[in-house]
Amino acid sequence: MLKKVRLNKHHLALLLLFVVCSKSFGNDGYKLWLQYRFVENEALRGNYRSYINKLMPLGDSKTIEVAEKELELGLKGMLGLDFLSKPGVGEKSLIFGEKSNLSKDISIQLESDFNNINDEGFIIKSISIKGKNQIVITGNTDVGVLYGVYHFLQLLQSHKPIEQLKIVDSPKLKVRVLNHWDNLDRTVERGYAGFSIWDWHRLPDYIDQRYVDYARANASIGINGTVLNNVNANALILTPQYLEKVEVLANIFRPYGIKVYLTARFSAPIEIGGLPTADPLDLDVIKWWQEKAKEIYTRIPDFGGFLVKANSEGQPGPQNYGRNHVDGANMMANAVAPFKGIVMWRAFVYSEHDTTDRAKQAYSEFVPYDGQFKDNVLVQVKNGAIDFQPREPFHPMFGAMPKTPLMMEFQITQEYLGFSTHSIFLPKLFEEVLKADTYRKGKGSTIAKDIDGSLHNKRLTGIAGVSNIGSDINWTGNTMLQANWYGYGRLAWNPYLSANEIADEWLVLTFSTNESFIKPVKNMMLDSKEAVVNYMTPLGLHHIMDTGHHYGPGPWVSNLSRPEWNPVYYHKADKNGIGFDRTPTGSNATEQYADEVAAKFNNINTCPEEDLLWFHHVPWDYRLKNGKTLWDGMALKYQEGVNQVEHMGKTWDTMEAYIDSGRFNEVKMLLNIQFKEAKWWRDACLLYFQQFSGKPLPDGVEKPTQTLEYFKSLKFPFAPGN
Ligand code: BDP
């Protein structure tokens, strides 16, 4: 028989404990950096509440609606469930709306601030209206207001004071997009976080909540565009059947200030248009693209435009018809120009028929066209001249095309960096690239200045990040890698931010404000990038990953059909030494840099050691700056990388008390895998290179765990992302 239970003090305590525990178990990472954790500190919570008694939205656009919803969600989460629901309390409003909707007495107080923001910028300011203190969040457009709202919520989540607010901020780049390498069958090329989040089969009628949360996450960091499909494109995306689905996504993203773009397959006029050619100078082809653009813009009036990978790795392009990149890009740019669309034309090109150093080919092919592209073309350039390596000297095209807008392409997904099992904080890599000095207009001609337009007075500016997002519950396959999506967005907004600041922000928003957690974990993140370089490709080594999937070491691979796909092409290890001579005695790739930069790279004494083997073929007993021989130094670098990962794991192990067990355990397990794989990299590479150096491992380097034959025998036929 059931007994009636009366709840007493102890029961309530147990219940509370249960609630607290389930909270600490329950975080699956889905909420990313939009956790809106309850502000436990009562005084602070009271302080925040005293500044916001009600929400006062101005205007009735969809964007203002989502801003209000986000404020409600965030404020209720951080300041208490009943918050904002009590009628008639207090008089302090949080006023948010765009400039034209502000009352006169507010506008007057913000006049000078409005001079300092662009179309997407925002102002958050404490002002006094009729003797009352109010907070205003505004901008020239509703989207600016939305960015301000997210920023405001982030202030609260970071426990920052809101007494005297005056924040005026604008994005420095215009086009800030994610590139999804997502296929229509939902596989993701180089994707390591599950399948594509675009459920093409169930679109347009089934709206996954993820689409909305994806838009929220992007808007919260200022990303304003998304290229939905793979650069290796399927023309079907441009058919009405798919455009109907794309239209639905565009409608969902629009209130969040996110435009949709598509990768256009250059041969689409043949494949889905029934034309015999895709020649960009053929009148029927020109007309086909114009009509296709019209069709898309009829559905999606704010469609962003096309991304194109042409004549690269077997993709069709203008060169198939004896035309060039300018012919192809301008033809498509003309088609979208009447609708204010743009074309992002990729510079990632290299050919197996060209026997020159692969690192030289993009520059040779594109720089002569400077000034010939239409105004609405951006040339999209990867950060380095080979391909998203753990460390790569900056791409020589940056700074070198004063009359052509160049947009940066970073890879957020970790194709060459251990996939999503390796915890690496990529803003470190991005920062290094953005700060690199091209010297094209003297000292201080950094890449950040080229892409934000200030170096050469460019009007159109942009940046692209190859997404690391998939259907995994935590989006990125590893909670720590959410920081790379976040950090990419922040650098797209402001390419002068430091990795250090970004790590601080992300940790607070994602996990905790506790300094005992932030400090060690931040250090771990900031060191993680160099750790990977050390255990994979120290001292300028590059592209020695295993075939095809690029998972794990494969420095021995030499049997691929194209020479420049083989690791041996890149490291050139032999009895005499190791490294790729790109100085005038070798491929002379250095001539593509400004004189000052070329001189620095050419001279083995001034070449940064981190790029040594990128530019020089160096004898095994060459003395490094620390007095060690190259062989010993290289072996010690591999060991250092392993030690760093071990240290990362140990640091993380001490963090258990500060965060939920779900994310704690997930990251812990992944760090263990990374540690194992770092040793695998070290052992495989050192055993392989030792065949050439003929020297023993120096003291301090652990003995290999297996034989070279064993490492060579490993096969991964189902490695993800391939
Ligand atoms: C390489 C990838 C390949 C991409 C290509 C690209 O291995 O999957 O299609 O880059 O960027 O890094 O086009």
* Mean pLDDT for the stretch of residues 579-602: 98
Say if residue 626's pLDDT is above 50: yes
Say if residue 24's pLDDT is above 90: no
Say if residue 30's pLDDT is above 60: yes
Quick check: helix, strand or coil at residue 407?
strand
**Ligand 1 centroid vs 181 CA: distance in angstroms?**
9
What's the pLDDT at 10?
Answer: 57
What's the pLDDT at 85?
Answer: 63
* Mean pLDDT for the stretch of residues 204-231: 98
**Ligand 1 centroid vs 384 CA: distance in angstroms?**
13
Q: Whose CA is nearest to atom 1 of ligand 1?
A: 387
pLDDT band at 351 (very low <50, low <70, confident <90, very high): confident
- Tell me the catalytic residues: 313, 387, 415
* Mean pLDDT for the stretch of residues 571-598: 98
What's the pLDDT at 9?
Answer: 55
Say if residue 533's pLDDT is above 90: yes
Give the whole-angstrom CA distance, residue 720 versus residue 722.
Answer: 6
What's the pLDDT at 562?
Answer: 85
What's the pLDDT at 22?
Answer: 42
**Ligand 1 centroid vs 312 CA: distance in angstroms?**
9
Q: Measured from the CA of 181, which atom of ligand 1 is nearest?
A: 9
* CA-based nearest residue to 716, from 666, 677, 686, 679: 677
pLDDT band at 54 (very low <50, low <70, confident <90, very high): confident
Q: Please, what are the domains in the chain?
A: 29-169 (3.30.379.10), 175-508 (3.20.20.80), 534-580+617-713 (3.90.1330.10)
Mean pLDDT of the chain: 95
What's the pLDDT at 210?
Answer: 98
Burial of 361 (0-12, 13-18, 19+ CB in 10 A): buried
Give the whole-angstrom CA distance, residue 198 versus residue 57.
Answer: 32
What's the pLDDT at 4?
Answer: 47
What's the pLDDT at 11?
Answer: 55
Give the whole-angstrom CA distance, residue 462 versus residue 171.
Answer: 11
pLDDT band at 209 (very low <50, low <70, confident <90, very high): very high
Q: Measured from the CA of 309, which atom of ligand 1 is nearest?
A: 13
The pLDDT tens digits for 658-716 are 999 999 999 999 999 999 999 999 999 999 999 999 999 999 999 999 999 999 999 99
* Mean pLDDT for the stretch of residues 640-665: 98
pLDDT band at 19 (very low <50, low <70, confident <90, very high): very low
Say if residue 6's pLDDT is above 80: no
What's the pLDDT at 556?
Answer: 98
Q: What percent of the chain has pLDDT over 70?
A: 96
What's the pLDDT at 26?
Answer: 72
Q: Measured from the CA of 387, which atom of ligand 1 is nearest?
A: 12
What's the pLDDT at 627?
Answer: 98
Tokens 């999937």 belong to which residue?
549
pLDDT band at 53 (very low <50, low <70, confident <90, very high): confident
What's the pLDDT at 89?
Answer: 53
The pair of three-digit structure tokens given for residue 663, joined into one six-digit string = 């994310």
C-alpha 512 chain-centroid distance: 23
Give the whole-angstrom CA distance, residue 45 versus residue 208.
Answer: 34
The answer to whether the CB of 96 falls within 8 A of the CB of 57 is: yes
The answer to whether the CB of 486 falls within 8 A of the CB of 33 is: yes
What's the pLDDT at 633?
Answer: 98
182, 266, 351, 387, best to mutate for ligand 1 pocket (most atoms within 8 Å of CB): 387
User: Which residues' Cβ are closer than 6 Å to ligand 1?
Assistant: 189-190, 231-232, 309, 312-313, 348, 387-388, 415
Burial of 638 (0-12, 13-18, 19+ CB in 10 A): buried
Helix (H), strand (E) at residue 259: strand 259-263
The pLDDT tens digits for 234-284 are 999 999 999 999 999 999 999 999 999 999 999 999 999 999 999 999 999
The pair of three-digit structure tokens given for residue 540, joined into one six-digit string = 């300028």
* Mean pLDDT for the stretch of residues 596-624: 98
3-state secondary structure 471-518: CCCCCCCCHHHHHHHHHHHHHHHCCCCCHHHHHHHHHHHHCCCCHHHH
Quick check: helix, strand or coil at residue 101?
helix
C-alpha 653 chain-centroid distance: 27
**Ligand 1 centroid vs 387 CA: distance in angstroms?**
8
227, 231, 410, best to mutate for ligand 1 pocket (most atoms within 8 Å of CB): 231
**Ligand 1 centroid vs 167 CA: distance in angstroms?**
40
Lowest mean per-residue pLDDT among 401-405, 423-427, 557-561, 653-657: 557-561
**Bridge partners for 411 per DSSP:** 466
pLDDT band at 355 (very low <50, low <70, confident <90, very high): confident
